[in-house]
Each structure stands twice: as C-alpha cells, then as structure tokens.
Structure 1
Amino acid sequence: TLITNKAEAVREFFQHVNGRMVSKLLTALSRSMEPTSFFLYTSIVKEEDLHDAESLRYCPMVFQELIPKQWELRVVYVDGNIFVGALDASVYPASQADWRVPGVKMGSWHHHQLPDNIVRRLKTFMDRFGLFFGAFDFILTPSGEYVFLEMNPIGEWGMLERDLDLPISHAIASTLLANG
C-alpha cells in the first residue's frame, strides 16, 4: 500500500507491482451508497492513467497492488466478537476492483470462518490501538492466502446483519452499555 500525492512515487509503485494497481481516495466523498449519490470507487489504474499523475499533488490517494480474488471479506470486530461476510469474486468478474460499483451483479453474502491465526492478529491489532470497533477488508486469493487491505473505523456492516442474520447491532449495543 502506498499513500501519496507524489507522481513519481506512484509511477515507481506501478512498476513495482508490475502494472497491477488500484487507486482509491483516503476518505469517501459520499454520505450514501445510493446509486443517485456521487461516490468514487476503487479503480484499476492503467499505464495511460499515469500521464496525468502530476495532478495528485492536490489530492493524496491510496494505491494498492491489484490482488487476485476468490473471495472478498468484510470482517466486523466488536469488542472481541468477530463477524464475517464473504462475497464470491467469481460472481462479479467485471468488477475486480470494487464490488460496490453500481450495475455490477453482486452475489449474495456468505458466512465465512477465519483461521485462528487471522483472528489472533485482528485481536492484537485492535488491542494495540485500543479500539472496540472496526470493519476490516480482506481478500482471500485463489491460492488460499488472506490479504489484509484496510480497517475502516466506521465501515458498513448492516448488509451482513441483514443477509446473514449476524447480531452485530446487539454486540455494538452491549459494548456501548458495558463501556459507557
């Protein structure tokens, strides 16, 4: 992952990841994910996109290697409780960068069990930062590797509760009541 507003750093990173790169904003510009709302999604960067890289000086962005996906995971952590939803990436191959893009046929959310070593790492991460809540994004590659993308401090989770009947809001309410 590279966070920068320097064109040369982006060009070097593009070469480092062999031209397989995505970009996204540091923060979302939208208050809603409704189709009528303006929202900038994660996008695949092509070499010709780098011709205008100098304009980055006005707006730092996040750049990451484009990772092959089998599953996309949203992992919600609430005070030691972990809730996981998985999307089968093969259902929407037209959007290898971002499943939220309007018009992309998205499959349904599936339950997923994280390996113990990933669970331990999540708990260590949250403990070290002193956080009770976080929504993590992971990719599970076709070779079975879990790749951490980011932790969203206010990430969305309602779709997991709705579609998978996960008690996330109950866990949040219990944590708030217990910790003030």
Structure 2
Amino acid sequence: MTTEPSGSVLVLTNAHDVTADVVLRILTDRRVPVVRLDPGTDLHAGASLSAAYREGEQRGTLRTPSRELDLTEVRSVWTRRPSPFDGPPEQGGQDRRFAASQSRWGVGGILATLAGAHYVNHPWDNRAAESKPAQLAAAQRSGLSVPSTLITSDLEQARAFASEQTGGVVYKPLWNTPYTIDGRPQQVWVRQVLPHEITATVALCPHLFQARVAKAFDVRVTAVGDRLFAVRIASPHLDWRQRQSLMKCTPIAVPDQVGRAVSAYLGIFRLAFGAFDFAVTPAGDWYFLECNPNGQWAWQPEPVTDSIARAIADRLQKGPEA
C-alpha cells in the first residue's frame, strides 16, 4: 500500500496563465493543496518570502495575503510562466535594476533550492535546455536525426553553407528576443533564405542557418516523464506557429527509436517535461528541430490536452516519488 505524499504543490506562473489553470483544476478536484505565486510581481503586492539557514537546518516561509506556506512542506514545484524580476514598479533607474537583480538571485535562488521538492522543471535545468546549440548537441548524443546546421556571424561561411544545401536553408533566431516596431510586438518566424539574401549584417550577431527538411508534415511530441503525447500537424506555412488557426492536428504514434531518443534527451538536461518539434519526410524519417523545455501545449486537440494535463498533475501530486 502506497501512502499519498503530503505537502503543497507550488505553482510559479503569472496571473494570466490559462494553461496552468487546466492542471490546477485537476489538482483541486483531487484535493491536492496548491499555492500559486508569481514571484516577479506578487512579492511587490503583499506577498513575502524568507529563508533561514542554520547548522543542519534549512527553513523558509512564503506568506501571501490569503495563506502561509512552510517551504519544507512543498512536495512539488511547477515552473510554468512566472513574470520576470523587473524590480519594484515605483522605483526607477539603477535602484530598480539593483532590486531586480537581488530578487532574481535571492528569491529565484530560494525557490530553486527547496530540499526534497520535485521540480517540473527545475528553473536552472530549463535555462540550460533553452540554448539552441545545447539542444542540437543533446539531440545528436541522444540518437535523434538533426538537419545540417550552421551557427555563424561570418558572411562567407553563411553564404557557402546556404549554397551547399540542395533543398535550401532556413533561418531561425537563437532566442525569442522581444522586438517592437512603432510600439507593436514583432515575431521572427522560421523562413527560407537564399544565399544572396544573406548580407554583411550577419556579422552583427550569430545567426542559425539550417538545411530545410523536405517534410510531409510536422509533429509535436509533448513528453511528461516517460509518457509521450504526439500530434501530426498539417499547415500551409513553413513555421506552423505563424497562423495556428490554419493548422490541423491529429494524434500520431511515436516510433520506438524516436521515443527512446526523447527519453535520453530528457535525461541529459534532467527534464521532467519537454515539447519536441519534428519534421517528418515522405519516407518517414523524423528530424529533430527543437525542444522547448517549457512549451505551451493546451492548443492541441482536447483529448490530447486533457491527457497532458493529467500527466502533469500526476507528477506534481506524486512529488519526489514521481
């Protein structure tokens, strides 16, 4: 007979995260205690966090306007989409920057070192797994097929690489950096580029160029531990994220070899969750494109979304036993 783990589930996310709400409803129905916190904003709006380190002991307390949480009793931490540590809004200049950095390292450090808690995912592991070069290296080590890729700021190398790829090349940013034009947010989508379109401005920063996969369709594989949930994506766009209203998703089985490689990939980064994107050729070859360690998943068909939500809830409920 197994004993139900005790303690609360701590969910770190912003107030507008509707994806988190899907899982929280399941945990509430199961009568699992949950505390939701957006540390970047809530700690400037009535919440407080303290940690004490004494010989042989580490304790901490989180207080919100509605409850008090003993941090030694946290069974799981779900790092979803917390707001950045921007500092107190009433401060400005270097005072706000100082407070923001102290919060990032102080509050962030406390919440990342809760002894005995199970993390989905640990924030430091998330950060390591967000690096595109690290993703490509891990995918190769795991046995996944990776399209030929070049990361460079050298114009000649970039043009030579683009000319060598018979199926063409695509450009994708190494990081989703916020960018606005006339105050309007802009998004850099994956797009095909021709050699002559690569100009001397490539020297301003590293660029990622990748051989274009002659794909029949895309696949999103959402991994929650050893449980895989995959959908085939049909879209008129090279980057299906560009207009999700035009894509069609249907469940698809994951080949055993790909499933084993996905498990190995998660192990390299110590992830409990990962959202993998693949391009599949007409011959049935699966090419790894990227893995978002904290990717969105509630846009998938309702049965798939519900299964993913329950798998995440299971891990959070089990805590260290997951």
Match of 1:29? 177
- For structure 2, the residue ranges without an aligned partner over 5 or more in a row are 1-148
Aligned Cα root-mean-square deviation (Å): 2.3
Alignment partners' CA distance in 2, 1:163 and 1:7: 47
Q: Which of 274, 294, 311 pairs up with 1:171? A: 311
1:31-46 to structure 2, matched below 5 A, reads 37-46=185-194
Please state if 1:63 is matched with 2:209. Answer: yes
SS state of the match for residue 167, structure 1? Answer: helix
C-alpha spacing 1:140/1:4, structure 2 compared with 1 (3 Å): same
Q: Which of 140, 145, 149 lines up with 2:289 in the alignment?
A: 149
CA-to-aligned-CA distance 1:136-156 (integer Å, 9 cap, x gap): 110111111111111112222
Please tell me whether the aligned partners of residues 23 and 44 of structure 1 are also in contact (alpha carbons under 8 angstroms).
yes
Match of 1:8 in 2: 156
Contact 2:170 2:190 in 1 (8 A): yes
Identity across aligned pairs (percent)? 30
Deviations 1:32-83 (A, max 9, x none): xxxx742110011023212x1x212223222111111111001111111111
Assess, with a 3 A threshold, how the Cα gap between structure 1 residues 5 and 155 changes in structure 2: closer, same or farther: farther
Equivalent in the alignment of 2:42: none
Q: Which residue of 2 aligns with 1:87?
A: 233
Is the contact between residue 163 and residue 195 of structure 2 (CA under 8 Å) also seen in structure 1? no
Whole-angstrom CA distance in 1 between matches of 2:311 and 2:277: 19
Q: 1:179 to 1:105 in 2, by over 3 A?
A: closer
For 2:156 and 2:315, how far apart are their aligned partners in 1?
45
Question: C-alpha distance in 1, partners of 2:165/2:176?
Answer: 25
The two structures have a TM-score, normalised by structure 1, of: 0.82
TM-score (norm. length: structure 2): 0.48
**Higher alpha-carbon Rg:** 2
- C-alpha distance after superposition, 1:103-136 (max 9, x if no partner): x872321000011111111111111221111111
Q: Aligned to 1:49, which of 172, 178, 197?
A: 197
- What is residue 136 of structure 2 aligned with on the other side? none
Q: Is the 8 A contact 1:161 1:167 kept in 2?
A: no
For residues 7 and 124 of structure 1, the distance between their equivalents in structure 2, rounded to whole angstroms, comes to 35
Greater than 6 Å deviation, 4+ residue runs: none
Residue 249 of structure 2 corresponds to residue 101 of structure 1: no
Does the 8 Å CA contact 2:298/2:305 hold for their aligned counterparts?
no
